[in-house]
Structure 1
């Protein structure tokens, strides 16, 4: 029961406990200050000497031992076990909003010889008092659980409408937008960094999660852990698995399946699905940490004796360090026999310089690129209408299944319907995305053709002026297979990619005259030479597919 203090030579010592539900109330409101003021006035009126105040800004639904302020108070009482303290708090709801925790906390204070007093409730050590106290605690628990249910219901409804309601993932922030309210928007420049990382992993530019991690650690604007600039591998995995970056929302724990959201996507849904397929498949071995700008050809040049990738190292000389490439395969005849870095890299650079076709071909090639683009655009208009028809059909199927769920009472049948609806929702997202991007804009023509023509004209210039990642991309686009290097004879004949093979044939006039029937009429080149349009069309289609995009991203 409460004890009204009297003025005496020895004042009763008091501890004040005050709590708000979240940090926002602490920083923007006056909940803690008003509670402390009321408790101090209560102590003053009863002649108590307030010795310490213990605040908390954590929700009351959790175990009281998870509250820092409450743990500190109990530890303080343990250290002062020779004194009898009064613990003062504002309201029973500030004490505990859970019946079990309330009674447990009362026992914790009793074991420490501290009595509890509340401004809005009188504790009595009687059967009737204990009954009323238990009812008050149960009422607080009921209110808390009802509030939680209402919050979840509102959040679930908002997710069902296509809005993200959780803590914003890295790369996004919340802003209020007319007609939407609080919605995710890209947080630049972090959003662009994440977009590049996700697309790079989907396209194979980053062959493992380790390479994505290293890429993020190399970006100053990307938030990192600690002063060392470390990005935890679990953060990388979480980013790769999040559908929110594809513009989707879902809440499996609340029964909300994947659906298109209203926020701006950083990547396409097809890119997201490629990432998930790579995560579920057999991932490549992690990239070694010592592959760096000192040795851009490491891993791309093979030892001609054993066919394994060469490694690299810095060897210490008398006065300085010297860079070398070498084979480290145990059974290889060239094991640990160093090759000067200049021999390896200058030879590869000479191969790249040789991939420079005749300049007169590029006017013709650019015209064919443009023709192919226009043909694809015309085909895309028809494909877009077909996709829109499929999208409408999918929506009707979903509506029909929802009607069947309403009329069914079998849990197994309902579960089967729900699984099918989830599959159709995913298909709906795919169709909507494909229909939206089916017809490319006129602006994208120059965005694709210019990088393609620049690269085909001289991959060496891009390699020479590019960073480490771009150099690796140029090697992958220029050579169909890794280069083989013989320690005694140098580089073997390089296997170039298809576009360079075709242009090399044109340059040497090997594809001179129009041949097979059924092929479109040839086009004339200087010198009276005619080339097949079909071959250059294949080159154009190949590069419009993915070559320019890799160069731009690299």
Structure 2
């Protein structure tokens, strides 16, 4: 008697919309096996997208096949080819790989004899149709988001100083979020004065209460969203441009471009000062004994308190405990 592993897959969205889908697939595949006198070995339930084969349950099942090549399973059975894959190139590669493991994939609702060359033409249709649907859906989302940006709507996660909100009619927008907004406004004003290094301004803003990583901060201060503008990226023949946003600006356009001039080194620096704090009094004054660069400092959160360290920048790994250095 031939044996088979039953592969039952739905995407997260499908499971939310059609909670019966997995049970329905399971019942129909089992019925098929009974009629064909095939013994089921494993039943695998997957709740993951089929855009790639990088899926948790499939990966585990495939590892089992490789470990027991040709010993336990003759078929992998599913309902339709879009349950197997929604990527034509990946699907053909996987089919060839399964052949080397002596495993035949079977779609009970779209049966094909893969030993017949002409069947590959029909298989291409079965595999490419869901892939085209995915690409069309993604393109529709892209055009929808681009249209929203052109109308002045912010379409992503809110930047530090703003918060995502939803109106009663379901439309989404961003609103100024205090006290984060005041910390970001202060940071822009400090950068425009051109008296401190950006790293130090970020550190001071964090001490004031700003919750923002270093990378996030550098990205944020480059975004014209803060002066009420929305970036429309270049696309095909259309060049990149800015449009007026529907949200409330946090700073003036003049201040935003003053900051950009500082970041682009278009304004002469006025002897950048090192920032001292009670916990890192020597930040900006110590020199790395390994690479001779200026040491900076930061805090690491422990279980009950923060621990402060002087350290060099990547890739240098020099690091000192600030308390032990006092």
TM-score (norm 2): 0.68
Match of 1:412 in 2: none
Correspondences of 1:421-432 after superposition (within 5 Å)? none
SS at match of 1:117: strand
Task: State which of 234, 238, 242 in structure 2 corresponds to 1:253.
Answer: 234
1:29 aligns with 2:20: no
Deviation of residue 102 (structure 1)? 2.4
Q: Which has the higher helix share?
A: 1
Q: Partner residue of 1:77? A: 65
Q: How does 1:282-431 map to 2 (within 5 A)?
A: 291-293=276-278
**Which of 81, 85, 90 matches 1:92?**
81
- Tell me the equivalent position of 2:260: 276
User: What is the SS of the residue equivalent to 2:221?
Assistant: helix
| Alignment counterpart, residue 212 of structure 1, candidates 168, 191, 201 | 201
Which one of 24, 40, 51 corresponds to residue 49 of structure 1? 40
1:135 positional shift = 1.5
Contact 2:5-2:44 within 8 A present in 1 as well: no
Q: Following TM superposition, by how much is the alpha carbon of 1:238 offset from its aligned partner in structure 2, in angstroms?
A: 0.7
Q: Out of 237, 242, 250, which is 2:218 matched to? A: 237
**Partner residue in 2 for 1:127:** 117
Contact 1:92 1:118 in 2 (8 A): yes
Q: Is the alpha carbon distance of 1:257 and 1:13 closer, same or farther for their aligned partners in structure 2, counting shifts above 3 Å? A: same
How much does 1:116 deviate? 1.9
Is the contact made by 1:248 and 1:259 (CA closer than 8 Å) also made in structure 2? yes
Tell me if 1:103 matches 2:89.
Answer: no
CA separation of 1:162 and 1:217: change in aligned 2, threshold 3 A: same
Tell me if structure 2 keeps the 8 A contact 1:16–1:36: no
Q: Give the SS at the match of 1:241.
A: coil
Partners of 2:250 and 2:127 lie apart in 1 by: 47
CA shift in 2, pair 1:99/1:287, >3 Å: farther
Q: Which of 176, 181, 199 in structure 1 is aligned with 2:171?
A: 181
Tell me the alpha carbon deviations over residues 322-358 of structure 1, each in whole angstroms, 9 at most, x when there is no partner: xxxxxxxxxxxxxxxxxxxxxxxxxxxxxxxxxxxxx
Taking only aligned residues, the RMSD between alpha carbons, in angstroms, comes to 3.6
1:208 and 1:287 in contact (8 A); partners too: yes
Cα deviation digits, residues 206-264 of structure 1 (max 9, x gap): x22211331354355615xxxxxxx3x32221111112222211221334511111012
Specify the alignment match of 1:12 in structure 2. 3
Structure with a larger share of its residues in strand: 2
1:515 is matched with which residue? none
C-alpha separation in 2, matches of 1:91 and 1:283:
65
Q: Which residue of 1 aligns with 2:102?
A: 113
Residues 7, 77 of structure 2: 8 Å contact kept = yes
Deviation at 1:159, TM superposition (A): 1.4
| TM-score normalised to structure 1 length | 0.43
Unaligned runs of 5+ in 2: 286-326
Q: Deviation at 1:284?
A: 7.7
CA distance in 2, matches of 1:253, 1:92: 37
User: 1:12 is paired with a residue of what secondary structure?
Assistant: strand
CA 1:198–1:128: 2 relative to 1, 3 Å: same
Q: Secondary structure at the match of 1:162?
A: coil
C-alpha displacement of 1:138:
2.3
| Kept after mapping to 1: 8 A contact 2:81/2:127 | yes
The aligned residue for residue 26 of structure 2 is: 40
| Structure 2 counterpart of 1:482 | none
Query: Where do 1:453-464 residues align within 5 Å?
Result: none
Figure out how many residues of one structure are paired with residues of the other and give that number. Answer: 273
Cross-structure match for 2:307: none
